[in-house]
């Protein structure tokens, strides 16, 4: 019994402690909540006051802005005709400068000791080769269609490095023929190949020549890449620029090869003896057809009008036809003459027989006349005998 009493007493004491602890916590919570509410109210007031101040500032600035705009309009209206003319002159000068710059883009600068100078117009995708003459001036000799890319240099002059490869590995696991280094990873090379095999050309990329299609290198036809590989020495300057004008020699064309399934794995300009495009080009060459020789027609005399000349032409044509007819008839006549010569005796016999018939007819007629005369004489004699009786 005593143990139970002590347990009850302990429980009662614990409950009192709990109540005291809960009361303290509730008081602290209420204080925190009230502090938060107070802070929120103060922030709202600050925001409202700042917004009101900003509105007042903006309202004060609006008339100032309007005044500035009006002043600018007045100043623009105050420009005299002379000032406008000066502005037009400046514009004309700028246009002339632009034209000069475009003309200069077609020329190679002087001051270099190299025999060649290369200019890459990445805007028009054209490469122009210049060579130096005896007077030290660079003149254009060759233009090449190309494809540049995003990483192609936008300006500057670089020099050809001593790094050339017959087949060079390119980014993306592809290969290029006749690679020549310009700067860093920027090269002159052919259109990419799937492998180091001239029959594995990426023909869909070849059809893009003349447009921006590479990662940054300067793609060329095989014949052009080989020409640079063979002809351009180390140290040759290469200038990059952009202009809508392709250059002094224009922009060459590029053949589209995707439609030819049998040959499209090859570059049409590849000099390899196994290139199937050579057979295609030979088959496409037209066979010359013999032309008939024109028949000469007599030219009309200056004094004759055109109608008389036409009549003369028709008469000459008819004369030719008659001559041809007479030529055809001559052998016939010769044949008839020969036949007549063969049978002269028969004709003579016929003539003699006709003469004899004529003589017989005359004799017959004479006998008939004699018989008639005889009968008449007999009749007259009978009449005389009758009279006598």
From 154, 157, 96, 147, select the one nearest 124 (Cα to Cα). Answer: 147
Give every CB contact of residue 198 below 8 A, 6+ residues apart in sequence: 177, 266, 267, 270, 272, 274, 275
Distance between CA 143 and CA 126 in Å, rounded? 7
- The whole-angstrom separation of Cα 261 and Cα 278 is 15
Residue 146 a catalytic site member: no
Pick from 79, 196, 180: which is nearest to 127 by CA?
180
Grouping H, G, I as helix, E, B as strand and the rest as coil, residue 16 is helix
Q: How far apart are CA 244 and CA 123, in angstroms?
A: 6
Distance in angstroms (rounded) separating the CA atoms of residues 261 and 91: 55
Give kind and range of the element (H or E) at residue 187. strand 186-190
Count of CB atoms situated within 10 Å of the CB of 276: 16
Phi and psi at residue 165, to the nearest 5°: -140, 140
> What backbone torsions phi and psi does residue 139 show, to the nearest 5 degrees?
-125, 140
Q: Which residue among the candidates 146, 217, 223, 263 is catalytic per the annotation?
A: 217
CA gap 118, 160 in Å, rounded: 10
Q: How far apart are CA 218 and CA 225, in angstroms?
A: 9
Q: What secondary structure letter does DSSP report for 155?
A: S
189 carries an active-site annotation: yes
Number of H helices, E strands in the chain: 7, 9
Q: What are phi and psi of 388, to 5 degrees?
A: -60, -40
Residue 317 corresponds to which tokens in the numbers above? Answer: 């044509």
Structure tokens at 361: 């007819």
Q: If you search the block for the tokens 């109540």, which residue do you land on?
A: 19
Q: Which two tokens stand for residue 276?
A: 């199937």
Residues serving a catalytic function are 189, 217
């Amino acid at each position: 019994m005593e143990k139970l009493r002590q347990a009850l007493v302990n429980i009662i004491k614990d409950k009192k402690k709990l109540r005291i602890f809960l009361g303290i916590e509730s008081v602290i919570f209420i204080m925190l909540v009230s502090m938060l509410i107070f802070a929120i109210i103060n922030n709202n007031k600050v925001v409202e006051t700042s917004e009101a101040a900003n509105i007042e500032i903006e309202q004060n600035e609006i008339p100032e802005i309007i005044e500035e705009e009006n002043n600018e309009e007045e100043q623009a209206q105050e420009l005299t005709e002379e000032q406008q003319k000066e502005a037009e002159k400046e514009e004309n000068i700028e246009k002339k400068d632009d034209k000069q710059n475009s003309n200069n883009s077609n020329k190679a600068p002087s001051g270099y000791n190299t025999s060649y100078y290369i200019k890459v117009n990445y805007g028009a995708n054209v490469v122009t080769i210049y060579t130096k003459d005896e007077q030290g001036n660079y003149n254009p000799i060759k233009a090449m269609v190309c494809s540049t890319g995003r990483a192609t240099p936008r300006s500057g002059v670089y020099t050809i490095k001593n790094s050339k490869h017959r087949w060079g590995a390119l980014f993306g696991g592809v290969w290029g023929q006749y690679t020549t280094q310009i700067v860093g990873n920027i090269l002159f090379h052919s259109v990419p190949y799937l492998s180091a095999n001239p029959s594995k050309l990426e023909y869909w990329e070849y059809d893009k020549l003349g447009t921006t299609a590479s990662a940054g290198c300067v793609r060329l036809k095989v014949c052009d890449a080989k020409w640079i590989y063979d002809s351009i020495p180390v140290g040759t300057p290469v200038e990059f620029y952009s202009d809508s004008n392709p250059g002094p020699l224009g922009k060459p064309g590029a053949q589209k090869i995707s439609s030819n399934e049998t040959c499209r794995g090859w570059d049409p300009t590849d000099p390899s003896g196994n290139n199937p495009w050579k057979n295609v080009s030979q088959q496409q060459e037209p066979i010359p057809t013999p032309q008939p020789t024109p028949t000469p027609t007599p030219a009309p005399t200056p004094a004759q009008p055109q109608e008389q000349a036409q009549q003369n032409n028709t008469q000459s044509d008819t004369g030719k036809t008659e001559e041809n007819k007479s030529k055809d008839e001559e052998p016939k006549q010769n044949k008839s003459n020969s036949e007549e010569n063969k049978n002269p005796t028969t004709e003579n016999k016929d003539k003699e027989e006709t003469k004899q018939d004529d003589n017989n007819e005359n004799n017959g007629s004479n006998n008939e006349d004699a018989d008639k005369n005889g009968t008449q004489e007999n009749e007259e004699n009978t009449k005389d005998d009758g009279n006598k009786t």
